[in-house]
């Protein structure tokens, strides 16, 4: 069997492939986001915001449900891909290029969400705190911020590999993720990720490394407590089951923190 051609580039610079790998099934996330608004929100929920929105897979699904939506991402290729999908369907372009630790919005939102670990791209405590403060300015008092992160458990070994496949028409992608290194002191974790892309005309492999900051349950609690804007009202796992909230403890890995925007102290 011939070796695959290898491309050493950011997976985020390949929004078409990213969108297939991560966007195949958003239904559970969408049901969770809208369900959280009903269960934990206050007042009407019309406006929704996603920092680190990537290709806008969730934003597009929510726009189809008639929510007013907005989003940002650091990667201009992802933002272009996101906005192009909206243009194609005669909808206003919702996304802009910005750093989620340093941005402002013109009008506040009712609910914001940040799923699948994007928050962990912020490399320092200051950036993480600045992000929570920016989000506090972007969401109205009583509104919600749903923050999905993969924590580092302190009592059990963390999961080290994950593989899955996605297909759309003639395009098929097999994805594999693995741990390259974990540095407890600097809290920097490096994960290898590869997309094996197969189309009728070409097969190749994109190999990338994701650098993420780690959080134990205690470190996450301390960060949220240090922000003047947010209080945790409930926690769930990535099963996104609103009837099954979880208690975060030293063995927990996947958590969605449901935070409410409080009045600043």
The residues of the shown chain that bind ligand SAM, judged by CB under 6 A, are 12, 22, 52-54, 57-58, 73-75, 78, 99-101, 115-118, 121-122
Please, which residue, 52 or 259, has the CB nearer to ligand SAM? 52
At a CB cut-off of 8 Å and minimum separation 6, what does 99 contact? 74
Least separation in angstroms between residue 57's CB and ligand SAM is 5
Contact 237, 254 (CB under 8 A): yes
CB of 172 to ligand SAM, least distance (A): 19
Judge contact between 54 and 15, C-beta under 8 A.
yes
Q: Give the count of beta carbons closer than 10 Å to the beta carbon of residue 189.
A: 20
Question: Three-state SS for 58?
Answer: helix
The nearest distance, CB 233 to ligand SAM, in angstroms, is: 22
**Pick 134 or 229: Cβ nearer ligand SAM:** 134
Residue 114 vs 152, nearer CB to ligand SAM: 114
Neighbours of 171 (CB within 10 A): 14
Q: What is the rounded CA–CA span in Å between residue 170 and residue 189?
A: 34
| Residue nearest ligand SAM (C-beta atom) | 54
State which residue, 99 or 221, has the beta carbon closest to ligand SAM: 99
Question: Measured from the CB atom, is 178 or 203 closer to ligand SAM?
Answer: 178
CB of 14 to ligand SAM, least distance (A): 11
Write down the least CB distance from residue 123 to ligand SAM, Å.
9
Judged by CB, which is closer to ligand SAM: 4, or 7? 7
Q: Beta strands 230-236 and 161-168: pairing type?
A: unpaired
Asked whether the beta carbons of 142 and 42 are under 8 A apart, the reply is yes
Exposure letters 5-30 (e unless 16+ CB within 10 A, then b):
eeeeeebbebbebbbbbbbeebeebb
Shortest distance in whole angstroms from residue 108 CB to ligand SAM? 19
Residues contacting 21, CB < 8 A, separation 6+: 11, 164, 166, 173, 175, 195
| Tally of residues, the chain | 265
């Amino acid at each position: 069997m011939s070796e695959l051609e290898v491309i050493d580039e950011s997976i985020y610079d390949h929004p078409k492939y990213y969108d297939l790998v991560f966007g195949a099934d958003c239904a559970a996330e969408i049901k969770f986001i809208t369900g959280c608004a009903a269960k934990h929100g206050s007042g009407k929920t019309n406006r929704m915001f996603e920092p680190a929105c990537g290709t806008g897979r969730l934003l597009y699904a929510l726009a189809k449900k008639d929510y007013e939506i907005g989003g940002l991402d650091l990667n201009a290729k992802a933002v272009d891909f996101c906005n192009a999908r909206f243009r194609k369907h005669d909808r206003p372009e919702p996304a802009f290029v910005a750093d989620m630790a340093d941005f402002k919005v013109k009008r506040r939102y009712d609910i914001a969400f940040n799923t699948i670990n994007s928050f962990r791209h912020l490399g320092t405590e200051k950036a993480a705190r600045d992000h929570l403060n920016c989000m506090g300015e972007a969401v109205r008092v009583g509104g919600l911020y749903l923050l999905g992160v993969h924590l580092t458990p302190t009592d059990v070994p963390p999961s080290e590999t994950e593989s899955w496949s996605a297909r759309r028409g003639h395009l098929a992608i097999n994805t594999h993720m693995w741990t390259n290194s974990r540095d407890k002191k600097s809290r920097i974790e490096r994960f290898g990720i590869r997309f094996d892309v197969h189309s009728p005309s070409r097969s190749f492999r994109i190999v990338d490394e994701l650098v993420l900051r780690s959080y134990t349950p205690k470190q996450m609690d301390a960060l949220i407590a240090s922000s003047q804007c947010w209080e945790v009202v409930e926690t769930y796992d990535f099963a996104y089951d609103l009837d099954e909230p979880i208690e975060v403890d030293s063995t927990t890995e996947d958590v969605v923190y449901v935070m409410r925007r409080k009045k600043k102290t």
